[in-house]
Each structure stands twice: as C-alpha cells, then as structure tokens.
Amino acid sequence: MPFRLEHLFIGAFWVAALASSVIAQMPFRPGEKVEVKRGRDWVSATVIKIDRSYGVQVRFSDLMDGMNGSYRFDRVRRPYEADAIYGGRVWRMAEGDHSTVAALLKVSKDDVTLRTEAMKEVTVKIEKLSTKDQNFLKRLNQQSQGLIEVQEKETRAVPFSNDGTVVVASDSSANVPLEADPIREALELAEGGTAFESANIWDRIGAIIPLGGTDQWLLASLESSKHDNPLPTRLMWVSIRKKRMSRMHLLPAQSQLKDYHEGSKMALMLEPGGSQTMLSVWKSLPSDSRPTPIISWNLSNGTRRTRDAGNWARFSSRKQVIARQSDMRITAYDLKDRKVLWVTDQARGNSSTPLLSPQRRYLFVPDADRVRVLDPESGNELTHYSLNNSALALAIADNGKDLLVVMSNKMVAIDITQPDSIREVDLGFLKPGASVTVKWLDGDVVCLSTTADEMLLFSIDRGIPLWRYQFDSSAVSGSLSDDRVRRVVDSHLLFAASVRERKPGHSTARGFGVGAVKLPGPKASGFVKYLKRDELVIFDGTEPVRIEIKAESGTPNIDESVIRANLIRQAQANGWTISDDATHALSAVIELGEPTPVRYQVPMNEQERLRERENVENRLRDQLRPPRAHDPVAGWNIRPNNFPSSSVGPSTDFDIPDSVVGSMIGNVITKTTSVRPTVSAITFLYGPEQIPVWGWGIVSTPPMLRFKSDEQALKFLHADRPADIRFFERINVPDTIVDPGFRDGLGLSRITPTGLEVQSSQ
C-alpha cells in the first residue's frame, strides 16, 4: 500500500496570502470604515493610520472614545469584503470603459458573483470580463487545482430554546436485552491511501472518518495548531479506490472535525473557546465545490472539571447532535427546532468519553460504578450494566452487540443482546496505572494501546496476547480522551502519518498520508486464528501458591502482616489455593536500592553567585564570539561555494553588561546528592528454580524539592524513607501467568506509511 505524496498546491497557502494581495492593490486610507477580526467576530472600526511594520491602527466605533488598537493587515477588511473568496480589486468589462471595485464572492463554470463597495451583489458572465480578469480567474483556479472553495459565509451562532428540556435521571433495570446495532453494509474498507502536502509545521491531522461506499471514502481533517493567525481547517475527501485526494473544503480556523452523518451528508465541527465552545454543522460532499453552512450554536463551558471533557460531540441522527460540556453535562440538541431536548450528568471523577453504537441507536455513558445505556432521541435510560469499578474506556464491535468495558483491573465484554453473558479478562499483564485505549477487531480480538507508539492484539476468549504492532515514528497519534485519528473498522486500521518527498531543485515536500491497512496482516493472521491458550500460559491457577515476604534489614517501617494480608487477598481473588509447601510463590520484596543521585535546589550564597556569574560570562563569550575564518557556517556541514567567510578573527574582546549576566542567573542553585531509595516489588516465582515470570516494582526516590539550606536538604533526603506499603494494595496480580517470552504476543509488525512490515515472529 504505497503512499505517494502528490504535488498538490495547498489552497490554504493562497487563502492565507489573500489579505496581503488585497492590501497591495487596494491600500487602506485614514478615515475609512473597516471591520477588524477580534476573536470570532468582525467589529466595526475606523482607520487612523497605516504602518507597514505594525499594521493598521484603528479606533473602534462601539467602544469608548480613544480606544485604539493596531492589527495585522490580514485581520482588517472592508465591509463589502466580508465572506469573500478574494478581496477588493478593480474589475473591467471586455467592451467599453466600465469598471468597478468589488470583492469576489463566488465562481461557477460560466459566471462570477461580485459585491461592490455599495454592498450590491451582481452576477457577471466570465466571457464579458476583460482578458486580464479572465486570466486572473484562470490563475485562481490553477492555484487551487479545482479542489478548493471557501465557505460561502461564516456561520452565526443561533440560540437554542430550553423549553421542555427533559432532565434524565439514572433509573433503569439492569441487564435488559437490547437488539444489535451493526455497522452499515456500505461501510466496507480496503487497503490503500494517499498523501497531500501540508501548509506549514503547525498543521496536523485532527480526525479520520471512514465512510466507505464505491470509492472507499475517507474524510480527514487538516487542522492548524497555531494559536496566532492559524490557517483554516481543511476537510480532505480521500478516495482509497482512486488513491487520491479528490476535494478540499475550507472551514473556520481552529474548528475540529468531530463527526460526519452519512445520511444527511453533514460534518459536525467544534471550535473550542475559553468561556464558550461553538458547534457548527456543514453540508460537505466530494462532488460539491464548497461546504454549505447549516447551523451553529454556542455551548457554555461553565466550571471546568476535567481537561478535554467539553471536546466531545457526535451526531445521533440527521437532526440531532449530542455534546458533552466541560462540566460533564451531556446535552441533546434538536437542529430542526433549535431546542435542547434532554440533558443528563455524567458522574464526577469519570471523564471517559461516551460512546454511540455503530448506527447511533444507543448511547453508552460511563458512570461511577456502571455503564448507562440511553436512547439518544428521547434520552430515556434503557438499561445499565453494574460494575465494581469506574470504566476507563468503552468500545463496541462492528457487530453492534459486543460492548467492551475497560477498568483499572480487568476488561469486561458484554453481549447487549444477552447481557447476562459476560466475559472477563484480568489486566494484570499491563503496567499498573497505564492509560488504555481499546478497539474491537472482531468478536474475540481487541486492540489495546497503553502508549501512542504500540498496539497489542489480545484475545478475550482465550485470555492471551496474540501479536504486537509498533507505529512508525512518522505515525500521527490522537488524544486518549477522544481518539479521532486511529480507528479500527471492518478489520482495517485507519491511521495517518507524516510523509515527505524530494522535489525538483532539491526542495522537500512535506505532508500527511492517510489510509487503511488490514489487520492482523501477514504471518499474524495464523497466530490470531489458531493460537491456543495453553500454548502461552505457564500457570493457570490450578496449582497451589505460597506467600513469602522478603524485607531487607534496615528498611524502615515495614509491617509484614499488612503486606502478607494484601498478597493473600490478591491470591484469593484469583481463586488460587495457598500452601506453605507450594512450588510456586507470590513474593513481596522490600529492600534498599543502589545509591541513586537526586537533585535538590537551595538559595545561592555569595560565593556560588560569583562562580555562576563567571560561568555565564564564559559561556556567553564562547557562544557569541565572531566565527573564525575556517569555522563552518552554522547549519551547514560543508561551507557552500562562494559563501563569504567572516573577516573577523577569533576574539573575546567585547563587553557583557551586568544586566545581561544578571538576567541569566537565578536565585537558586541545583545540587546533587546520593540516597539509597526503598524498593517495593511483587514477583511471581515459577517452579523449583524460582524463575521470576511476572512482576512490578516501585522506587521511593524523592522528587526534586527546594530547601532553605543544604543542611535542611541533606537531613530530609538522607532520612529513612518508609516503603510504599500501599503499593501491594494497589497492584493487580493476573489470575493466569503467560510465558514472559510471549507477553507481547508471538510477533511484531511495524505500521508504516507503506503498510505492515513483519519485524519478528516465533
């Protein structure tokens, strides 16, 4: 599946340059009435003066007298240029001397729509324009490669009524059977992908949404992470079958693609803000020259409780959107009648994102000790599934019936059509405290990720790891709270990667590739299908286990009875038999580790300040000295031909002001000392040889702290540090032990922009 980086001129380059082009042709004049971009809004103002370095200085007409400001040229426009594709310029007719100053609003095959200074919109046949203007339109079309059209107008937020809003309470019977809600038949994918250029280093892939169909459509969003003057968000229509990006639509800067409703052909965008977040709906099709704004509205962010909590939103139908605000309130909006239908609160302390079933029939809401199932249309709670812990992540299979709930110590697979049929898998094989994202591959195999770099195939039915994947360094990762970039649909992994290609003239084109690869992939498919549990498991819990505590002499505050009680509790929870004569052992170790350097900070004394001043001066003289004639130019390995050398010889004869040195000297100094930390570890020892086959540990090294003096620091750092006894309470011991050689599966494949590459296999 090769990704070819097509040499596409990204229209956003051209769009970003519009303002400077307009200014060059139509300069602003003092006293002229203009509009200035402040936040999301354009505010009326009057030009005071123009400075090529600082921009346009204006006085706002809606603020108190004397309230002025200077703004970049690209944030100032004339009223008739609002929502225009191209700003004010002189347009001339092919016959006669008639000309007018107008902004370009719309271009079709045969005519253009212009808006004059008098705010009058006129449509003119292209053939009636002057040759110069016709050539201008041709260049405009060539620059955008026919792929780009700016939205017709910015959407304006409309209010939604709260009359008749239903507050949904958690009140339902547990484990009520539901009908399956599988993916659409048309949502079938194939391997393939394509690539496109990015505009600058601030661009990133924000989302990939699979849409399928005859052309195997993917909708990807290219979003700018730049806070100052970001480029517009670009929706890329990618056809896997055609292996090309067929259309690009521009949407407001900093908006994020959250969802796409296939039936109504509408994209859901979210613009995060400080006190308010804006949601907007746009009609977008690869056959359309531009997106069409439908509606937009504001969400009140309220009191923030959880990071990213207010960044989740989805279509629940063609006329309804469900969004979660930062205060963990989930709200359903009726787009047709512009009213709030229902609201419900997600439990405090649980920031896991809600989940819609494949065809949006059910809404799964993680709560404190349960998962609630709501009817998205009415908000009625249909049923709930009780848990013994908070849900960290949810996933539902393509079959629309297998719901996976990830908790801190286990995974639970629930068949919503037979909710009393529950499959549980212990998560003790994962690193304690790891953040987990999960996706179904099929009704048995799931994809687990605890980092952005790796993914593990795991069998729910067999309870064993199968195969590991490692993402290439170029791969793009998404947010753990709302991963819109990596998805598994129809046994295909959708992902994005940064790519580059050499162009004529030794320049480099940089961009992103998006596409899909079929899992499990070469060699892995056999293991995934036929690997048996007893081939990997070396301890299945049927043999007895003894409990042992090893506390090194000198370790402080060790209460062995508490540790032993925690280990016994873990073994009993796993269903193990405890025997003092057992061959296998669950062992707790508390010991003093090897001397470890730790850093601390104390205020500088006068001698240290003088020494630091001298070090700073020497460092500045070395870094700022003029280069010797034979020194290579910074940034070049070899001096280019005809590149002039410095005529100044080596010298350190220049003054460094005290204020410069002082600004580089802090009030504290960082020092280092060695301490012996306390190590707490738990291990499973296998067989007569007592081979460690599973275990985790924690080191009680103090963090870098600031003290008033060296004496106080050394007294604190060298004091006896008690072992972390609660570690043995927090740790989760797996009920079965997998051969450590196969803990990450029987092989490794690398996920790259060219597809899957098998790195190793057993």
Quickly tell me which residue has 């449509």 as its tokens.
123
Look at residues 732, 735, 739 and name the one whose alpha carbon lies nearest to residue 425.
735
pLDDT higher than 70, residue 432: no
pLDDT value at position 572? 92
SS3 23: helix
Give the integer Cα–Cα distance in Å for 13 and 222. Answer: 13
Quickly tell me which residue has 């043999």 as its tokens.
543
pLDDT higher than 80, residue 760: no
pLDDT higher than 70, residue 344: yes
pLDDT higher than 80, residue 623: no
pLDDT higher than 70, residue 653: no
pLDDT value at position 154? 46
pLDDT value at position 745? 84
Helix (H) or strand (E) holding 251: strand 244-251
Q: Which two tokens stand for residue 379?
A: 């908000």
SS3 310: helix
Look at residues 366, 527, 545 and name the one whose alpha carbon lies nearest to residue 438.
366
Residues near 204 by beta carbon (within 8 Å), at least 6 away in sequence: 222, 223, 224, 225, 476
Give the integer Cα–Cα distance in Å for 514 and 753. Answer: 8
Q: What is the pLDDT of residues 662-674, one digit of tens each?
A: 767 778 888 889 8
Task: Say if strands 203-212 and 217-224 run parallel, antiparallel, or are unpaired.
Answer: antiparallel
pLDDT higher than 90, residue 445: yes
Local structure of residue 158 (DSSP, 8 states)? -
Q: What is the pLDDT of residues 59-113, one digit of tens each?
A: 886 554 456 778 877 788 898 988 787 888 889 888 777 889 998 888 877 888 9
Which whole number is the average pLDDT over 625-634? 47
Which whole number is the average pLDDT over 480-488? 75
The secondary structure of 592-627 as a DSSP string is E---EEEEEEEE--HHHHHHHHHHHHHHHHHHHSPP
pLDDT higher than 80, residue 290: yes
CB 541 within 8 A of CB 735: yes
Helix (H) or strand (E) holding 722: none
pLDDT higher than 70, residue 15: no
Look at residues 200, 201, 145, 205 and name the one whose alpha carbon lies nearest to residue 512.
205
Which whole number is the average pLDDT over 219-233? 85
pLDDT value at position 642? 44
pLDDT higher than 70, residue 136: yes
Architecture of domain 11-147: Roll (2.30)
Give the integer Cα–Cα distance in Å for 323 and 160. Answer: 14
pLDDT higher than 80, residue 302: no
Where in the chain are the domains?
11-147, 538-597+674-738
pLDDT value at position 489? 92
Give 654 or 297, the one with higher predicted confidence: 297
Give the integer Cα–Cα distance in Å for 253 and 82. Answer: 16
pLDDT higher than 70, residue 9: no
pLDDT value at position 313? 94
Q: What is the pLDDT of residues 584-616, one digit of tens each?
A: 999 999 888 888 898 888 888 888 888 888 888
Give 407 or 501, the one with higher predicted confidence: 407
Give the integer Cα–Cα distance in Å for 732 and 408. Answer: 9
The secondary structure of 661-716 as a DSSP string is HHHT--SEEEEEEEE--EEEEEEEEETTTTEEEEEEEEE-PPPPEE-SSHHHHHHH
User: Lowest-confidence range among 132-136, 559-563, 723-727?
Assistant: 723-727
Give the integer Cα–Cα distance in Å for 684 and 696. Answer: 10
In this prediction, what percent of the chain has a pLDDT beyond 90? 30
Give the integer Cα–Cα distance in Å for 224 and 8. Answer: 18
User: Lowest-confidence range among 86-100, 360-374, 393-407?
Assistant: 86-100
Give the 3-state secondary structure of 327-347: CCEEEEEECCCCEEEEEEECC
pLDDT value at position 509? 77
pLDDT value at position 556? 66
The whole model's pTM is what?
A: 0.70
- CA 132, distance to chain mean position in Å, is 46
Which whole number is the average pLDDT over 15-26? 38
Output the CA torsion 121→126→131→137 (10° steps). 80
Give the integer Cα–Cα distance in Å for 581 and 569. Answer: 19
Which whole number is the average pLDDT over 456-473? 90
Confidence of residue 482 (pLDDT cuts 50, 70, 90): low
Task: Say if strands 329-334 and 755-761 run parallel, antiparallel, or are unpaired.
Answer: unpaired
Which whole number is the average pLDDT over 320-339? 90
Give 179 or 140, the one with higher predicted confidence: 179
Give 281 or 185, the one with higher predicted confidence: 281
Local structure of residue 276 (DSSP, 8 states)? E
CA distances in angstroms from 621 to 343, 629, 656, listed in the order given:
64, 17, 8
Which whole number is the average pLDDT over 723-744? 85
Q: What is the pLDDT of residues 514-531, one digit of tens each?
A: 999 999 988 888 888 888
Q: Which two tokens stand for residue 737?
A: 């032990």
Confidence of residue 414 (pLDDT cuts 50, 70, 90): very high
pLDDT value at position 349? 65
Dihedral over Cα of 684, 686, 689, 693: its sign? negative
**Angle subtended at Cα 250 by Cα 248 and Cα 252, rounded to the nearest 5 degrees:** 155
Give the integer Cα–Cα distance in Å for 432 and 408. Answer: 8
Give 52 or 551, the one with higher predicted confidence: 551
Give the integer Cα–Cα distance in Å for 749 and 430. Answer: 20
CB 399 within 8 A of CB 197: no
CA distances in angstroms from 97 to 100, 117, 466, listed in the order given:
10, 18, 77
Q: Which two tokens stand for residue 8?
A: 């596409």
Which whole number is the average pLDDT over 26-41? 80
User: Is 617 exposed, middle or buried, given 0-12, 13-18 or 19+ CB atoms closer than 10 A?
Assistant: middle
pLDDT higher than 60, residue 424: yes
Confidence of residue 378 (pLDDT cuts 50, 70, 90): very high
User: Lowest-confidence range among 54-58, 148-152, 744-748?
Assistant: 148-152
pLDDT higher than 50, residue 5: no
Average pLDDT over the chain reads 81
Which whole number is the average pLDDT over 417-427? 87
Q: Count CA atoms within 13 Å of residue 393 on its CB side.
A: 23
The secondary structure of 95-146 as a DSSP string is SSS-EEEEEEEEE-SSEEEEEETTS-EEEEEGGGB-HHHHHHHHHHHHHHTT
Q: Which two tokens stand for residue 405?
A: 């709930």
pLDDT value at position 510? 84
Phi, psi of 562, rounded to the nearest 5 degrees? -70, -45
